[in-house]
A and B are shown apart, each in its own frame.
Chain A
C-alpha cells in the first residue's frame, strides 16, 4: 500500500557561513572564552510542525507564495530530507521531478541522462534500454537525444525528465513547478500521460502556481505559508481561500470544458 505519513515534522536548515563551517572555530575557539552564542550556526525553519497523511490515489496540489516551503515539503515527502524533529514514513517507489537543471549531467547526452535517471529511480539497465525508444518518441527529441544535455533548452529538459518518470510507473510522483516550462502542445500530451499515470497507480503531489494545471492533475490541495500548513481541503476551496477568489471565474471556456465543467455550471455555482 503506497502512502506517505508525516508526524509533527520540522525541517531546520543550519546556515553555515564559511567561518562556522571550518574546524578553526571548533579548535581555536576553545581559547579566550565564549563570545556570546555565536558558536551555533543560525537556523532557518523551513518547515514547522507538519502532520500529513497521503494515501494511494490522492492527488494533492501545493500552493503558496515563493519561499513558503513547497519545495522543501516535496523533498521531505521524497525522503531526501529526514525531519529534524518529528518523523516521516514513505512507503512506495518515489519519482521526483524537481529543479530541472540539477541532478542531470550537462556534459553527457540525453540518452545517458535518461539511463542514469532511470537507474536512480530503481530501474535496471535492461529495463531502461527497453524504454528508451518510448521516451524518445514521447519527448519528440529524436536525434537530439544523442547531443550533450548542455545544448538543451529548459523546455527540452522538462520533456526529458517527464519522459523518464512517466515511462517507469512510479508509485509516488512528486512534481515541482518547473514543469510549466514546456510548450502548450507538449503540456497537453504530458498531462494525459500524467493523469493516466496517477489513475493507474500511487499518489501525486504537485507544487504549482498555475491554476489550470493544478485542476488538471489534482483534486485536493494544501496551502503552505511560512513553513506551515495553513489549510488543507478540496482544491477549489484552498485556491479560493489562497487567492481570495473563485478560480473558475477567471478560467476561459476552453479550459473549463476540458476539465469537464461547463462554464454555465461553474458560474452558477459561483
Chain B
C-alpha cells in the first residue's frame, strides 16, 4: 500500500443507514459542493488573511501592488538592457508574466500548506476540507487583483507601443526580421477573463490534491518548492521566446522548443499573458490547459474519495 490507509469496512446492514460510506465519490462531491456553498466563510477567511498580513501597516494590502511594481520595473529595466529589447514593449511582457507567475507559484506553494496551516481549525471545527482550499485560492485571487493594478498602470503608460502589431526587440514589425510579429491588443484581449477563470479552477484542484499529499508526506512541500524555483527560470517569464528566435530563425533553436512546449506551466502563463499584452495564443496552449484541468480534477476526486477523511488524522 502506498499510503497507509486501513481498509474501509462498511458491511453492517443497518436499515437506518442511508448515507454513503466515508470512502466514496459521493462524500467527496459532498465535500466539494458543501465547501463551495460556504462562500461567505472562505471569502471572509481569505480577506482576513490579507488584512492580517498587512495589519498595522499604513498602506495595507497595497504593499502587494507596490512590491510587485518595484520588482517588475527593476527587472524590466535590467533585462531590456541586457537583452537589448525595446522597453515599451518588453515592460508589459515582464510585468504580466510576473503577476501571473506569482499567482501560479502562490497557489502551488501555499496550496500545499493549506491543510497544515489550518491544522487547528480542522481539528476543532467540522467543516468541508474544500473550505480551506478555497480560502487559499481566494487569498491568491485577491493578491492577483492587487497586482493587476500594476498591469493597468503599465498598459496605460505603454498603450501606444502595444496597440498595433509589434516585435519585442525593436517595437515594429518588419518583413526582414526573424523575430515574432505580435498582433497587438484587440478584442480578443477579453479572452484573458476565461483564461483567469480556468487558472482559478486549476488552483482548486492543485490546493486540494497537493494539500492532501503534503499533509501526509511533509517532505513534499520542500521538494515541490525547489522545483518551482527552477521552473521560474525554465518558463519564459523574464526571458521571452522571441529572444530565442531573434538570433537566427526557428531552426537554430529547434532543440530548445520541446523544453518550452512540454512545460505545462508555459501554457498556463501563455493563455493569460498573451491576450493581456496583445500576443497571439495558440489553440494548443488552451487544449493543454483544458486537458490538465480535466485530468487534475479527476485525480483530485480520486484522492478526495480515498484520503479526504484521513486528513484530520494526519494534520
Interface core residue of B2, B21, B127 (most chain A CB under 10 Å): B127
Complex contact A21–B216 (CB within 8 A): yes
Complex contact A102–B218 (CB within 8 A): no
Give the segment of B10-18, B104-112, B181-189, B291-299 that binds chain A: B10-18
Interface core residue of A84, A89, A96, A107 (most chain B CB under 10 Å): A84
Q: Does B309 contact A (CB under 8 A)?
A: yes
Chain B residues with CB under 8 A of A8? 12
B57 CB to closest chain A CB (Å) equals 14
Complex contact A120–B219 (CB within 8 A): no
Complex contact B22–A82 (CB within 8 A): yes
Interface string of A54-96 (1 = CB under 8 A from B): 0000000000000000000001001111111111010000101
A1 CB to closest chain B CB (Å) equals 11
Report A82-135 residues with CB < 8 Å from chain B CB. Answer: 82-87, 89, 94, 96, 98-99, 102-103, 105, 107-108, 112, 115-117, 119-121, 124-125
Complex contact A102–B120 (CB within 8 A): yes
- The CA of A98 and the CA of B124, in the complex, are separated in Å by 7
Interface core residue of B125, B126, B127 (most chain A CB under 10 Å): B126
Complex contact A5–B16 (CB within 8 A): yes
Interface size on B, residues (CB 8 A): 38
Q: A14-B313, A80-B312, A107-B52 are in contact. Are A96 and B125 (CB under 8 A)?
A: yes
- The CA of A168 and the CA of B48, in the complex, are separated in Å by 22
- The CA of A267 and the CA of B299, in the complex, are separated in Å by 66
Complex contact B219–A116 (CB within 8 A): no
- Among A7, A13, A16, A102, contact of B124 (Cβ-Cβ < 8 Å): A102
Would you list 12 pairs from A and B whose C-beta atoms are within 8 A, ordered by A residue? A21-B216, A80-B124, A81-B313, A87-B22, A102-B123, A102-B124, A103-B123, A116-B45, A119-B40, A120-B125, A121-B125, A124-B40
Which residues of A pack against B, CB within 8 Å?
5, 7-8, 12-14, 16, 18, 21-24, 26, 40-41, 75, 78-87, 89, 94, 96, 98-99, 102-103, 105, 107-108, 112, 115-117, 119-121, 124-125
